[in-house]
Amino acid sequence: MLLELPRTQAAPEIARITDAEAQAMVRAVIRLFERWQVPDNRARDILGGLAARTYARWKAGEIGRIDRDLATRLSLLMGIHKGLRYLFTDPERGYAWVGKPNPVFGGQSPIEIMAAGDIFSLARVRAWLDAERGG
């Protein structure tokens, strides 16, 4: 006998990432971009074309509301950072890896891939790191 499973809501009432979590991720990603030596214009591309003024506010600690797209990008960036920390025992090697050309990415650096501006490029780098570490 088949039983119908209860349906889930299309728009859950509870945010997947709270505002406080999103703001903490913004602060972490800004520090991460500094470690990766990503210029502001490229960082804004990675964040989906974030306005220069908004990014400057973020760097000054004025973080407003984070929409779903940005929250997803921030989450992917944190996952990339986590993957690098697992792969490299020396954090500096992981920070440098993102800026070096990589044959896996057609000779482009992971930063160049991520700076394409679409979420899929971020996911591509994250998926490769996850696969490389066996996760």
Within a domain: 90: yes
pLDDT at 124 (0 to 100): 95
pLDDT at 11 (0 to 100): 64
* CA distance linking residue 84 with residue 129, whole number of Å: 7
Within a domain: 4: no
Within a domain: 39: yes
11-37 burial code (b ≥16 CB/10 A, e <16): eeeeeebeeeebbebbeebbebbeebe
Q: Where in the sequence is the domain holding 79, given as residue range(s)?
A: 19-132
How many domains does the structure of the chain reveal?
1
Within a domain: 11: no
Could you tell me if 79 and 126 are in contact, meaning their C-beta atoms sit under 8 angstroms apart? Answer: yes
* CA distance linking residue 53 with residue 47, whole number of Å: 13
pTM, two decimals, is 0.85
Could you tell me if 29 and 74 are in contact, meaning their C-beta atoms sit under 8 angstroms apart? Answer: yes
Within a domain: 2: no
* CA distance linking residue 108 with residue 104, whole number of Å: 8
Within a domain: 9: no
Mean pLDDT value of segment 18-32: 89
Within a domain: 57: yes
Within a domain: 43: yes
Percent of the chain with pLDDT over 70: 92
